[in-house]
A = this chain, B = another copy of it.
Amino acid sequence: MDLSERQVKILQAIICNYLETGEPVGSRTISKYSDLNLSSATIRNEMADLEELGYIVQPHTSAGRIPSDKGYRFYVDGLMKEQVQEIVDMKKDLEDKSDKIEILLQYVAKLLATNTNYTSMVSKPHYKYKKIKFVQLTDVDVNQILAVIVMEGNIIRNRLIMVEDLVDKEIVLKLNIILNTFLQGLDMTEINMQIITKMKEQAGQYASLLNEILDAIAKEVSEVDNVEIYTSGATNILKYPELSDREKATELLYTFEEKKQLTQLIGDKFQEEEQRGIQVYIGDETPVESMKDCALVTATYEIEEGVYGKIGIVGPKRMDYEKVVSTLQNLMIQLDEIFKKKS
């Protein structure tokens, strides 16, 4: 059954009011609401209906109503009017940090948390199966070799390799050529035993050294593949009474500190599903137990063709959805411009 226009208005009024105050809202409050001139009794009747339909609930018999998850959902899906927003222009700040992705993302998290007063999290995109552009070996010291690996998407990793025997420039140069001849253009899955065997053949007496180097490269490349998550503003949740009682706050803060569970929200799995754009999860809709009293808004950003990461904002159910959504949209645009320019 659809809601009548009046019911929608009342529901909207209830939710708006609750978003502001965080307190259950009673019939009298709504009846004083300017544009619908109805007595509290009438409102009560409508409220009873709305409750029966599952849009609002009473925390206890003689309290006002608060929106149920279904109520919030209705609000988010329908009532939220687009609102242009004069958020601080983040772009300049962002550009400065654009070349170190980790720093940039941590900074994005911080910006979001500060701007919204909620908790933010950002996942580093999953770079799996990026091809190796080239490898560069350098002899740093008599028993140290530096390997710099450049991959598609300009991911740069370096690793210092300790070796037992002295190595001279000649050998390093030779190994360098071998590595590049065989590895250029391959991703991790394509480097198989056959290739490795061939490389070793060419390396001759330095096969074991080559082996060490390959190991180091493998470790370094596989690091790229780790989905890391940056968070900021975890303590913001303490600002909202409904989240900050001892037990809930402990659980939530722990979730943010540990970060493991956050992958369920903005990590790999979520990214593969076709859930691009902005998504809102309310209460039990999130897969994380400790967030059952929270709402989560996520957005997908694209760092380059096919490489996605996610951003999430966690707050109380009565979060300012409009602001969060428009902030995220704004940010998406800024990020897009930066990344486009970059590549």
User: Interface of A with B (CB < 8 Å)?
Assistant: 99, 133-134, 136, 138, 140-141, 144, 146, 148, 150, 154, 156, 158-160, 162, 232-235, 238, 244, 246, 249-250, 253-254, 257, 342
Contacts and interface: CB of A to CB of B under 8 A. Distances in A.
B158 A158 contact: yes
A156 B145 CA distance: 12
Nearest to A254: B235
A156 B160 contact: yes
B99 A159 contact: yes
Nearest to A160: B99
Contact of A246 (B158, B159, B244): B244
A140 B140 CA distance: 21
17 contacts: A136-B138, A138-B150, A140-B150, A140-B154, A146-B150, A146-B156, A158-B158, A162-B342, A232-B257, A233-B257, A235-B250, A235-B254, A238-B246, A238-B249, A238-B250, A238-B253, A244-B246
The count of identical subunits is: 2
A157 to B, nearest CB: 9
Contact of A158 (B156, B160, B257, B342): B156
Contacts of A250: 235, 238
Given A136-B148, A233-B257, 11 more contacts: A133-B140, A138-B148, A141-B154, A144-B154, A148-B148, A156-B158, A156-B160, A232-B257, A234-B257, A238-B253, A249-B249
A146 B235 CA distance: 39
A136 B150 CA distance: 14
Contacts of A156: 146, 158, 160
A240 to B, nearest CB: 12
